[in-house]
Amino acid sequence: MLEVVVTWLAAIATLGIYSILYKENPFYRFFEHLFIGLGLGWTIFAVWKDILHPKWWTPMVVEGRWYWIFAMIIGSLYYFIFSPRFAWMARLVISTMMGLTAGLVFKSFAAIYIPQIEASFRAVRFSPSLAGGLNNLLSTLILLSVLIYFLFTISQERQPLSTLSKLGRWFIMLGLGAMFGSTVMARLSLFIDRLTFLLHDWLKIIRF
């Protein structure tokens, strides 16, 4: 019985959200706010269950590592942003987070981009494979033109930069088009999942 009620509720909620395709209406508005409220409630629960309880509460209270209390004290400083007089305390936390982020980005730069630079050293030889040589030539041309497109402080009105920059833009668009196609397939699978739920689980029109 409970399963039937849950299926009906889920189906009505799905239709409620899809009703925006017709126009904004009270039915959509109700489920929009319900969705937002449920999302927030779920997040609070998940933060406690997945982060605070196992990584902070348990070490501090159950395992007796009392010094974890400092995590709460330092974290709570963030709330001083609402006090003009003590906002500097919040800035300590914010600037620490910014510094941490900058450091991590700097560290990840080498790990992400250096292998790409190394991988760009491709031999343009047409034997033994003509296709392999052409592929490497094309790869080098794309790298050259796209990098030129992303130069911001150099005028690209003169040749050959103008042509190479335009070529780079075309290559980017071709790449984005390919990505668009593959990602749309993934989005369609999400839609098919919802349709399957409505037609199979709820209305039982289709059977597998």
49 scored as a contact of other proteins (CB under 8 A): no
Query: Shortest distance, CB of residue 109 to other proteins, whole angstroms?
Result: 7
Listed residue (7, 31, 21, 28) closest to 199, CA to CA: 7
Query: Shortest distance, CB of residue 57 to other proteins, whole angstroms?
Result: 20
**Whole-number CA gyration radius for the chain:** 27
192 neighbors 206 (Cβ within 8 angstroms): no
28 scored as a contact of other proteins (CB under 8 A): yes
Closer by beta carbon to other proteins, 151 or else 203: 151
Say which DSSP state 85 is in: T
Closer by beta carbon to other proteins, 41 or else 54: 41
Judged by CB under 8 A, the residue of 110, 131, 185, 205 near other proteins is 110
26 scored as a contact of other proteins (CB under 8 A): no
Which one of the spans 3-11, 53-61, 143-151, 196-204 is the region binding other proteins (CB under 8 A)?
143-151
Task: Give the C-alpha separation, 66 to 128, whole Å.
Answer: 67
CA torsion sign for 155, 160, 163, 164 is negative
Residue in the structure block whose two tokens are 């189906």: 11
Three-class SS of residue 138? helix
Judged by CB under 8 A, the residue of 81, 166, 194, 197 near other proteins is 81
| φ, ψ of residue 66 in degrees (nearest 5) | -60, -25
Task: Give the C-alpha separation, 95 to 201, whole Å.
Answer: 50
| φ, ψ of residue 207 in degrees (nearest 5) | -130, 145
Closer by beta carbon to other proteins, 148 or else 167: 148
131 scored as a contact of other proteins (CB under 8 A): no
Residue in the structure block whose two tokens are 């780079």: 168
78 scored as a contact of other proteins (CB under 8 A): yes
Say which DSSP state 63 is in: S
Closer by beta carbon to other proteins, 44 or else 203: 44
Residues that bind other proteins (CB under 8 A): 17, 20, 23-24, 28-29, 31-32, 35-36, 38-40, 42-43, 78, 81-82, 90, 94, 97-98, 101-102, 105, 109-111, 114-115, 117-118, 120-125, 136, 140, 143-144, 147-148, 150-156, 172-173, 176-177, 179-180, 183, 187, 190
